[in-house]
Structure 1
Amino acid sequence: MLTIGLTACGEKEEAVQKVRVAEVTRSIFYAPEYVAIEKGFFKEEGLDIELTTTWGGDKTMTTLLSNGADVALVGSETSIYVHAQGSDDPVINFAQLTQTDGTFLVSREKVENFEWDQLKGSTFLGQRKGGMPQMVGEFVLKNHGIDPQNDLNLIQNIDFANVANAFASGTGDYVQLFEPTASIFEQEGKGHIVASFGTESGHVPYTTFMAKDSYMKENKETVEKFTKALYKAQQWVEEHSAADIAKVIEPYFEDTEVDLIETVVDRYKSQGSFATDPILDEEEWNNLQAIMDEAGELPQSIDHKTLVNTSIAEKASK
């Protein structure tokens, strides 16, 4: 009996902590997130990730605020919008996943020697007003001397999930798309990638993991473990080839050929889209607000330290 009792005590395992994560969309752009799950990095930290795709920034933030998720993966601008509404439980950015815009400019017709001026007079199918893709899109256009409101026919009233379908159905001369949709359209002859918004806009906290301040205070150790697992995945992605990464994340894109996944991952790696650590620094935060301000969407300037917690990411990265 004594032997049995000792064995039972010795085999006692730590309780696994479930973390409900709501991601704004399903995208190869978020490869390190899927690597962290598939390579067991979250599991190593005693975390069980319940991943849900909520399709759109507004829906993702609503899910987080209504306690439908513990952590959200979404653009940092959403935390600023919530703060501006006077929330008594602000949403805090604690781990950055991507550090550039993840969209590409796709032309309906094949364009030789593309120049941004060619957009003038065209119909441009952009992303939802107030979201990071649309704001970065306008920021880049303005940097190339194009007034989005006057130099082209800008369409931005189509729901995020339906933008690609609208273009495929014949709407617009140009469209701003995420991968793998952009490459799939090119492969199927529906469009042609002519430019990257990510290379044009510089470093921004494009997608970050965030949680309500109350959750972070009540679950400090869980958030630390989550960030540590993410950092392991970021380093793994940095050190491995696009082919290796594609094989790992393939289960998340069942309708996409692994060769195409590899092409997209390589494109994102080559332009430095995947953050190599989870630290969201002040320069990136200020660049984000400059883009929002240029788009007329910045409700108020927010100090980096108000909505960003870097201490957890800094600890995880050591």
Structure 2
Amino acid sequence: MNRSIKVRLAFIVVVLLFIPFVACKKEQEQTVQVAEVTHSVFYAPLYVALSEGFFKEEGLEVELKTTWGGDKTMTALLSGGADIALTGSESSIYVEAQDTKDSVMNFAQLTQTDGTFLVSREKVNQFSWDQLKGKDFLGQRKGGMPQMVGEYVLKKEGIDVKKDLRMIQNIDFANISGAFSSGTGDFVQLFEPTASLLEKEGKGYITASFGEASGKVPYTTFMAKKSYLEENKETAEAFTRAIYKAQKWVEAKQPEEIAKAIQSHFPDTDLDVLSTAIKRYKQQDSFATDPLLNEEEWNKLQEIMKKSGELPEFIPYKQLVDSSIAKKVTDHK
């Protein structure tokens, strides 16, 4: 047998030995489809988990899609279009109130304050909440966390949302900032980086933070159908471990470094705008430092819903919160 034939045979043997290894690796990598309610710097730890390879480290291939609105996000989850949803915890309560046979369980918290800011059309040097009286307020979707927290803050500041201002709620979630830019409303409630972007363009001015005004609440959590968590326990644990790694990473890093890590997820947004938005969120402790949703926060969520007239019924903590995964991942007792 000549040398060239030996070399070719050796190469074939190596390839044949390598193929099962690659196939095994692909077989072990679990695909997880995640639907996010909006695309915002508010969810920075999720994008860090993607860009820094934390999901990959856990053997997961995460496919992320933005579904723009709590109702659409829950539809994707319930119909099987997504394995995991990232949205406001109130969505799971609405589903439970419909006597679902497969409860939607909150298993990992991502944000722990409201993530919206009050943006004014005109620059305000000394702001007070009563300046909203008699104005057009471009709010968020009725029944969603941004709107309910917004109303909670306004009521706390002595503003009657039905009498003291003109509330505009007939604009689709994804089009709110565009409507404001086009001239609708004197004030608007927006997430980052949209709020900072409008300010940079001179189309609005960040006047106050709903997150600072409302305090801690389980604003955005990862949730899945109870059946999914029971059938994919290891996957859910791996997913939560990756999120926890990202949360600790974000906690330890400066806004500029975080902005660089997630810039690929916001290709049309300048790095300085991302850094400014992240700095605001870090200053008000919006990013949860671990995935555990506690009972006190859960009860405060329902208090906010009740005051907004949107709580269909009180749901006990353990009925819709599976804390076992987060406790295992973080070694909480």
Counterpart in the other structure of 1:15:
28
Counterpart in the other structure of 2:224:
211
1:193 aligns with 2:206: yes
Between the aligned partners of 1:7 and 1:262, the Cα distance in structure 2 is: 44
Between the aligned partners of 2:200 and 2:238, the Cα distance in structure 1 is: 40
Between the aligned partners of 1:240 and 1:124, the Cα distance in structure 2 is: 36
Between the aligned partners of 2:191 and 2:108, the Cα distance in structure 1 is: 21
Using a 3 Å threshold, how does the CA distance of structure 1 residues 48 and 109 change in structure 2: closer, same or farther?
same
Counterpart in the other structure of 1:163:
176
1:11-35 Cα shifts (integer Å, max 9, x gaps): 8536100000000111000000000
Q: Which structure has the greater CA radius of gyration?
A: 2
Match for 1:259 among 250, 269, 272? 272
- The structural deviation recorded for 1:259 is 1.1
Counterpart in the other structure of 2:151:
138
Counterpart in the other structure of 1:295:
308
Between the aligned partners of 2:19 and 2:278, the Cα distance in structure 1 is: 46
Q: Secondary structure at the match of 2:28?
A: coil
Between the aligned partners of 1:272 and 1:279, the Cα distance in structure 2 is: 15
Counterpart in the other structure of 1:181:
194
Between the aligned partners of 2:321 and 2:218, the Cα distance in structure 1 is: 11
1:70 aligns with 2:70: no
Between the aligned partners of 1:7 and 1:66, the Cα distance in structure 2 is: 39
Between the aligned partners of 1:146 and 1:61, the Cα distance in structure 2 is: 32
Between the aligned partners of 2:139 and 2:187, the Cα distance in structure 1 is: 8
8 Å CA contact 1:23, 1:55 repeated in 2: yes
Using a 3 Å threshold, how does the CA distance of structure 1 residues 8 and 182 change in structure 2: closer, same or farther?
closer
- The structural deviation recorded for 1:8 is 7.5
Q: TM-score, normalised by structure 1?
A: 0.97
1:269 aligns with 2:282: yes
Structure 1 vs Structure 2 CA RMSD: 1.5
What letter corresponds to residue 257 of structure 1 in structure 2?
D
Between the aligned partners of 2:295 and 2:318, the Cα distance in structure 1 is: 8
Between the aligned partners of 1:297 and 1:209, the Cα distance in structure 2 is: 21
Between the aligned partners of 1:124 and 1:99, the Cα distance in structure 2 is: 25
- The structural deviation recorded for 1:70 is 0.2
In the TM superposition, 1:1-318 aligns within 5 A as 12-13=24-25, 15-318=28-331
Using a 3 Å threshold, how does the CA distance of structure 1 residues 16 and 162 change in structure 2: closer, same or farther?
same
Between the aligned partners of 2:19 and 2:228, the Cα distance in structure 1 is: 33
- The structural deviation recorded for 1:156 is 1.2
Between the aligned partners of 1:146 and 1:82, the Cα distance in structure 2 is: 30
8 Å CA contact 1:99, 1:275 repeated in 2: yes
Between the aligned partners of 1:161 and 1:184, the Cα distance in structure 2 is: 15
Unpaired runs of 5+ in structure 2?
Answer: 1-9
Q: TM-score, normalised by structure 2?
A: 0.92
Between the aligned partners of 1:119 and 1:183, the Cα distance in structure 2 is: 20
- The structural deviation recorded for 1:7 is 7.7
Unpaired runs of 5+ in structure 1?
Answer: none
Between the aligned partners of 2:20 and 2:199, the Cα distance in structure 1 is: 59
Q: Secondary structure at the match of 2:148?
A: helix
1:251-307 Cα shifts (integer Å, max 9, x gaps): 010110011101100110010000000000001101100000000000000001000
* Number of positions where the alignment pairs a residue of Structure 1 with one of Structure 2: 317
8 Å CA contact 1:129, 1:157 repeated in 2: no
Q: Indicate the percent of aligned positions where both proteins have the same amino acid.
A: 66
